[in-house]
Structures are given as structure tokens and as C-alpha cells.
């Protein structure tokens, strides 16, 4: 059994297997003395991620725990500390093949799985965490918040224009330009001429 410890608020715990929901994936909370453990069977070929609900916004706002576990047909266990009246955990997993679950990029957004959960709080199984049409890796590279679709700060969304060059983030993303360059460095205007037979 693999065991590790992470601290999150929680006394009354609610657990859910999420993402690729499967009837063969059981998650449980085990109490041993005063200690509580989040425990599940790690199926071989499956990679696991844990999310913790924000204690100020239960079940609406989630934070990624800095944990990535590769299943090896054995029980996986994490000790959880209780510092609040309740906590909620979500186990997400994928069956994507990997030899390096931390270093791989399951969603193809240009960020490693480990960087997504430990540095940027983006979803390692979704290339566009905030669903604004801009890839997480590009948003991080541009200094934008990959978790904000523009509803918190309009500059972060697809229609944002943080460099005020007249090109939205969506256009800059589509043509591979920078969202932070000045107007003098803005992409050239592209013209299109359609030729048809007889013209």
C-alpha cells in the first residue's frame, strides 16, 4: 500500500470518483484511531488526481491537491487532516497510457500534469480549463489566468486584449501571436483572394 499525507479542512468527508466515472472505482474514507485516510484501489494503467473543495465555497470551487498517482493494482492511501467541520474530495482519473504521469501532458495543452496541479491549478485532463477557447499552456505562457474565462478579469478571456493592439486573445491564439506584444509588434493583416475558374 502506498501512503502519503496532505492537510485539508475536513471532519465530515464526502467523496466522489469523477472524470471517467466507472463502477469499478471505489473511494472511501477510513478512520484509524484519530487519523483519517482517503483510500482507493489503484487499478494498473490508471492515473489518479485529487481535488479538494474550497471550504468557503463547498462543491462549487475546487483546488487540485499536489498529488498524481499511477495505479499499480494496489491500494492507494492518503492521510487527510481535519481542520474544519466538513471537507469534500473528488478523485479524477484517466486510463491514458503513461510511463511518466508527472511529466506527461495528458490533455496536450503544453503543460505537464504536475505543473497543472501544483503550479497553475488547471485541469490536467482538459486542455482549456476555463472553457474560453484558449489553451491552458498558451494562457500561462502569455501571463493570463488559465482559470478565468474573462468573467473575473476581462483581459484573461477570449475577447480580452491585454496589449491593446486591437487583436483579441482569440485571434492572437489562432494565429500564434503574443497577447502581450505592443501594437508595433502586432501580427500583420492577412488578406485573402479567392480565384475561381474563369476569373
Q: What is the pLDDT of residues 55-76, one digit of tens each?
A: 888 888 899 999 999 999 999 9
Compute the distance between CA of residue 46 and CA of residue 68 in angstroms, rounded to an integer.
Answer: 11
120 and 107 Cβ atoms separated by less than 8 Å: no
What pLDDT score was predicted for residue 6? 44
Residue 24 has pLDDT above 60, yes or no: yes
What pLDDT score was predicted for residue 114? 98
Compute the distance between CA of residue 121 and CA of residue 196 in angstroms, rounded to an integer.
Answer: 50
Residue 22 has pLDDT above 70, yes or no: no
Classify domain 1-95 at the CATH class level. mainly beta
Coil, helix or strand for 157? coil
Residue 155 contacts by C-beta under 8 Å, 6 or more apart in sequence? 144, 161, 162
Q: pLDDT tens, 149-183?
A: 999 999 999 999 999 999 999 999 999 889 987 65
Residue with cell 504521469: 101
Coil, helix or strand for 12? strand
Compute the distance between CA of residue 77 and CA of residue 159 in angstroms, rounded to an integer.
Answer: 43
β partners of residue 68: 49
Continuous H helices in 55-148: 113-115, 136-141
What pLDDT score was predicted for residue 48? 95
Continuous H helices in 38-183: 113-115, 136-141, 169-175
Amino acid at each position: 500500500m502506498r501512503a502519503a499525507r496532505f492537510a485539508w479542512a475536513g471532519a465530515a468527508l464526502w467523496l466522489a470518483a469523477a472524470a471517467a466515472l466507472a463502477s469499478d472505482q471505489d473511494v472511501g474514507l477510513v478512520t484509524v484511531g484519530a487519523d483519517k485516510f482517503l483510500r482507493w484501489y489503484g487499478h494498473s494503467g490508471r492515473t489518479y488526481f485529487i481535488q479538494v473543495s474550497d471550504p468557503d465555497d463547498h462543491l462549487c470551487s475546487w483546488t487540485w491537491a499536489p498529488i498524481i498517482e499511477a495505479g499499480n493494482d494496489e491500494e492507494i492511501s492518503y492521510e487527510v487532516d481535519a481542520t474544519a467541520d466538513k471537507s469534500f474530495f473528488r478523485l479524477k482519473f484517466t486510463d491514458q497510457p503513461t510511463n511518466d504521469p508527472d511529466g506527461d501532458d495528458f490533455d496536450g495543452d503544453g503543460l505537464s500534469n504536475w505543473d497543472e496541479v501544483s503550479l497553475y491549478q488547471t485541469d490536467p485532463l482538459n486542455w482549456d480549463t476555463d472553457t474560453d477557447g484558449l489553451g491552458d499552456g498558451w494562457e500561462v505562457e502569455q501571463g493570463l489566468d488559465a482559470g478565468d474565462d474573462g468573467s473575473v478579469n476581462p483581459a484573461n478571456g477570449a475577447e480580452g486584449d491585454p496589449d491593446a493592439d486591437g487583436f483579441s486573445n482569440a485571434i492572437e491564439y489562432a494565429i500564434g501571436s503574443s497577447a502581450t506584444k505592443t501594437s508595433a509588434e502586432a501580427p500583420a493583416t492577412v488578406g485573402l483572394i479567392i480565384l475561381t475558374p474563369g476569373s
